[in-house]
Amino acid sequence: MSMLLDKDTDIEIIQSPLNYTGGKFKLLPQILPLFPKNIDIFVDLFCGGANVGVNVKSNRIILNDTDDNLTYLFNMFKNLGSDCLPLLDKIIEKYGLSQSSKYGYEYYGCNSGTGLAPYNKDKFLKLRDDFNNSPDPGYYHYAMLYVLIIYSFNNQIRFNRQGQFNLPVGKRDFNEKMQDKLSKFIKRLEAKRYEFSNYDFRDFDMSQLNSDSFVYADPPYLITCATYNEQGGWNEQDEKDLLGFLDKLHSNNIKFALSNVLRSKGKENSILINWANKNNDKYRVINLNYDYNNSNYQVKNKESVTAEVLIINY
């Protein structure tokens, strides 16, 4: 997917090299045109894979997430730059993982339908053990993490309660598509002013923001299940605190946009609905098409739909 944000900018939409659950890449054509045109400081408050943050035009961009593994990865990409890919190749070769872009599937006794997991499994588990027991959280450590992500199930990120990476091996490897995503992402991080932070939103310093700042919040969704929301990752108090944080931004004349769902698979987020209704004179609820085809939809069975929305205060 390659396009322009709008007629006023020449920023190409690129996709994060992290397949983070809940990522907004497919919704960007709907979301980005709704953002303010002139942004001085952009805050991606729950950045995840940073699909939104890396595609916004702003003088200064803050990618914030409580998962420091994400921001350490971004730091590694930005600081190593073009040296990142050779380091990844070195780790792939060290553990003997497949390189289908060089040798094809048949070389490993596999095919594209069933994938490369049978060949990579033992090698992947060795890398995973070494990463989980790695004492030095430097660039090499996070390069190991990214190789794990590349070769893991659905290229995702998941850690257990002990902080150990625990996804199983996946079907794919560091193919040309993944390499292209990473190269474009690294170039974007190098070209613009990005900062990385690991604050809980309640601890985020609002005093650094001004009237030309814009805060985008894409929190874990209270009524949906996802990897980032396992083990009690987001609860009703978190939801209420975040809405209070957004109210405070509004009272300080700072623009915000909140991505969330009002309803999903028969569940309803009454906290969010009541907040939106209470503030309907200040905030606007924009329905997004979850099927990503257009911004309006009509469905007969309201119980089955996921009502994805963007709530803005401008």
d(CA 213, CA 58): 9
Which of 171, 182, 179 has its CA nearest to residue 108? 171
pLDDT at res. 230: 53
- Print burial letters for 212-230: b (CB count within 10 Å at least 16), e (below 16): ebbbbbbbbbbbbeebbbe
The pTM for the full model equals: 0.89
| CATH for the 25-66+199-312 domain, from 3.40.50.150, 3.40.50.410, 3.40.50.300, 3.30.360.10 | 3.40.50.150
34-43, 82-91, 153-162, 298-307: least confident range: 298-307
pLDDT band at 296 (very low <50, low <70, confident <90, very high): very low
* Average pLDDT score, the chain: 90
Q: Is the pLDDT of residue 94 over 50?
A: yes
**Tokens at residue 78, please?**
């930005």
> Is the model more confident about 23 or about 108?
108
Average pLDDT for 57-81: 95
pLDDT at res. 298: 44
Domain limits of the chain? 25-66+199-312, 71-183
Under CATH, what is the fold of the domain 71-183? Adenine-specific Methyltransferase; domain 2 (1.10.1020)
Per-residue pLDDT of 129-145, as tens digits, reads: 999 999 888 999 999 99
Average pLDDT for 206-225: 93
d(CA 85, CA 72): 16
Average pLDDT for 224-240: 74
pLDDT at res. 292: 40
E strand or H helix at 30: helix 28-31
Average pLDDT for 73-92: 97
- Print burial letters for 287-309: b (CB count within 10 Å at least 16), e (below 16): ebebeeeebeeeeeeeeebbbbb
Per-residue pLDDT of 276-287, as tens digits, reads: 999 999 999 999
pLDDT at res. 207: 95
